[in-house]
A and B are shown apart, each in its own frame.
Chain A
Amino acid sequence: MPRVTSGERQAASPPLAATGANGARTRYQKQAHDEDDILSLRDQLVNWLFTPLYLLLLFSTVTGYIAALKLSNQPYDLVLVERARLIASRFDQPATGEASDGAELMPDDFGNLRYALFDAGGTRLLGNAALPRPRPSDWSASGPQLRDSILTGQKVRLLSLRFHTRHRMPGADYVLMLAEPVEERLLLGRSILANIVIPQFIFILIAGVAVWIGLKRGFEPLERLRRAVARRRVDDLSPLDEAMAPAEVRPLIGEVNLLITRIKSMMEQQKRFVANAAHQLRTPFAGLRAQAELAKRELDVPPAIHTALEGICEAAGRCSRLVTQLLTLARNEPAAREGIPMQTLDLRRIAREAAGQWVPEAMAKDIDLGYEGDNQQLPVLGDEHALRDLIDNLLDNAIRYTPAGGHVTLRTGYDRGAWLRVEDDGPGIPPAERGRVFDRFYRVSGSGQSGSGLGLAIVQEVVEQHRAGIAIEDTASGVGTAFVVRFPHHAA
């Protein structure tokens, strides 16, 4: 594909015909689709690093929560047992006569603790009616029993303590039930949990940022490689620089380079084939043309056959031109130009020589071909034959598309670099088509001319060889077309 890249050229050109634009869109969509299917290496690494990390965080949060609850229970349970023993010992004080209602058993600072006392028969002697009866296991246990329970809709820690009285009723068994709401324990548990989880979360966050930065830096060589590839001209088939790539990617680059080499040799083969084919066509076309010209000269040729012969001559002439243009194009393609040295040349001299040679052709068409420029040398770094191909094709184009009586002017000058301008007062090129006239075999619609469609493609190749730029501009008079080629500055 084409270079100034064809991408830029297309971008600069006005909206394309519907089919062309659609084609481009589907191509981009397809690309996007492919990228969805295959995760990038970075995404894969991120997934593989962060999924286990987050699972670990989750696991450690759960275990931390369990541990926190357990830790927060321990001190509260110890206090609860102490209090149970205190209540039990108060109950066992030597009898004062009256059976107490139990209120004096509870010190004031026991707060929201509720209790109940059962005798061996299971009868509730004292205390809160909401507390459940002891389980059979509570009667057989030797120490305090602790469990979680719910009393009147409230989560509580429930303690049962079996004890003997020595004073009040020597030898009798009682069970004391104590219920303490769990809010405080939960508060402690949550605060322990927060102290575990928040640092962990921050730690993982920092690890994530570190990994992300590390990946980004690690992938930098790949990104550089990508940019280097993206910057390439479409027809640049030189191998990629393996030194740019990290060790892991180098074998891949090696394979890509092998592929590039194969593609290059295939393309060269194909170009040689086109050039050879064009070459081989020259002699038969010469024969065809010469025979038709001879036949036309016969005096007694009937008019119909004369017309036919004219047509054959015309067609043979066009074929010849096409073949010549194909060869010129092949000669100016980058592969064919390797090793041809660039020299300091005087653009003014070349332009004047070229224009001079087109004067007879222009006169035959009654076109006024002229040159305008200073009397100064215009140094450019270039190849003379290629520059002649460039100017010849611009002039040929202008003369071909300018009607009889018109003017074609070649100008040269200097403005931050030598420039060359071919101006005609022909029908002009509609702005919508200007971006495409450099495409091979493209012809401006409705021009009715028999151009090869390769002239401006040749011009484009030469422009690129010389790192010059080409633009189609309006003429000062607003009529016709101006092709302007601007060369980079070159000091002679």
Chain B
Amino acid sequence: MRILIVEDDEVLADSLIRAMAAAGYAADHVADGERALAMLLDGCYDLAILDLNLPRLDGLMVLRQVRAARKAMPVIILTARDTVHDRVLGLDLGADDYLTKPFSLAELEARVRALLRRGQGGGGTTLNCGTLEFDSVGRRVTLAGEPVELSARELAVLETLLFRQGKVVSKEQLIESLCAWSEEVTPNAIEVYMHRLRKKLESGGVRIRTVRGLGYLMDKA
């Protein structure tokens, strides 16, 4: 996996290079926009971490031209600009993620991992949480390697929770995930599915928490 780090602050760039290297990626570094553009167009990078305030060529211009050249590698924008307008502009121009400085290294690493996994194609079909594995293509669930029997609706609910694990999923969102079934789903039905899912998964280091008034959240126990 080759990653290009485009950042003109020496100290920050150094820490990024070392962090990426420690995570097992081959990391290259450039400090100005023009060279960054040249390297992204020539080289075959799997991912770019892109600062926006760059000498010679602004990061957004680099991104625009990279996308115009039909280069599809994931790009994480890393910037001190934090207005919503900047964020929307960056994502519209084709950025895959957007981190505002200062950020935690762990968060950057997690997002890099997620983007690379998605970029690998097929890698994203397996969702994990604790000892739970969900094969979203084969619609199969294993807990510590043991298969778990789930109904189609329970699977749909579990998939939605797993996609957003560590985040709150509202009942409305869960109802929406079940809307492929013709009959109406009530909030009470969601509670029933939750109850069953918890029972079937409680042994596997997975937890589904109820968040008062907001919905549910799935994470590792």
Question: Which A residues form the contact surface with B (CB < 8 A)?
Answer: 279-280, 282-291, 293-294, 297, 316-317, 319-320, 323-324, 327, 331, 352, 355-357, 359-360, 363, 368-373, 385, 409-410
Question: Which B residues form the contact surface with A (CB < 8 A)?
Answer: 9-12, 14-16, 18-19, 22, 78, 80-84, 100-106, 166-168, 170, 209, 211-215, 217, 219
Given contacts A289-B104, A356-B168, contact A370 B213 (CB under 8 A): yes
Minimal beta-carbon separation of A452 from chain B (angstroms): 14
Contact call B212/A289, Cβ cutoff below 8 A: no
- In the complex, what residues of A have CB within 8 A of residue B213's CB? 352, 355, 370-373, 410
Q: Which A-B residue pairs are the 7 nearest by beta carbons?
A: A370-B212, A371-B213, A287-B11, A287-B12, A290-B15, A356-B168, A282-B80
Scoring A289, A290, A294, A409 by chain B CB atoms within 10 A of each residue's CB, the highest score goes to: A290
A contact patch SS? helix
Contact call B214/A290, Cβ cutoff below 8 A: no
Contact call A355/B214, Cβ cutoff below 8 A: yes
Contact call A368/B212, Cβ cutoff below 8 A: yes
Contact call B102/A282, Cβ cutoff below 8 A: yes
CA distance A385 to B85 in the complex (A): 11
- In the complex, what residues of A have CB within 8 A of residue B214's CB? 352, 355-356, 359, 370-371
Contact call B105/A279, Cβ cutoff below 8 A: no
Given contacts A293-B106, A324-B82, contact A283 B211 (CB under 8 A): no
- In the complex, what residues of B have CB within 8 A of residue A409's CB? 212
CA distance A363 to B166 in the complex (A): 10
Contact call B106/A327, Cβ cutoff below 8 A: no
- In the complex, what residues of A have CB within 8 A of residue B81's CB? 279
* B102 CB contact (under 8 Å) in A316, A356, A370, A385: A316
CA distance A327 to B80 in the complex (A): 11
Minimal beta-carbon separation of A298 from chain B (angstroms): 10
Contact call B11/A363, Cβ cutoff below 8 A: no
Contact call B102/A291, Cβ cutoff below 8 A: no
Given contacts A352-B214, A359-B217, contact A327 B9 (CB under 8 A): no
**CB closest chain-B residue, reference A410:** B213
Given contacts A316-B102, A356-B215, contact A286 B168 (CB under 8 A): no
Minimal beta-carbon separation of B89 from chain A (angstroms): 15
* A297 CB contact (under 8 Å) in B22, B78, B100: B22
CA distance A340 to B80 in the complex (A): 22
- In the complex, what residues of A have CB within 8 A of residue B16's CB? 290
Contact call B12/A360, Cβ cutoff below 8 A: no
* B82 CB contact (under 8 Å) in A285, A327, A371: A327
CA distance A294 to B11 in the complex (A): 12
CA distance A286 to B16 in the complex (A): 10
* B211 CB contact (under 8 Å) in A294, A356, A373: A356
- In the complex, what residues of A have CB within 8 A of residue B22's CB? 294, 297
Scoring A284, A286, A317 by chain B CB atoms within 10 A of each residue's CB, the highest score goes to: A286
CA distance A359 to B215 in the complex (A): 10
Contact call A282/B101, Cβ cutoff below 8 A: yes
- In the complex, what residues of B have CB within 8 A of residue A324's CB? 82, 100
Given contacts A293-B106, A372-B212, A409-B212, contact A283 B168 (CB under 8 A): no
- In the complex, what residues of B have CB within 8 A of residue A320's CB? 101-102
CA distance A290 to B19 in the complex (A): 9
**CB closest chain-B residue, reference A370:** B212
Contact call B11/A288, Cβ cutoff below 8 A: yes
CA distance A289 to B108 in the complex (A): 12
**CB closest chain-B residue, reference A280:** B80
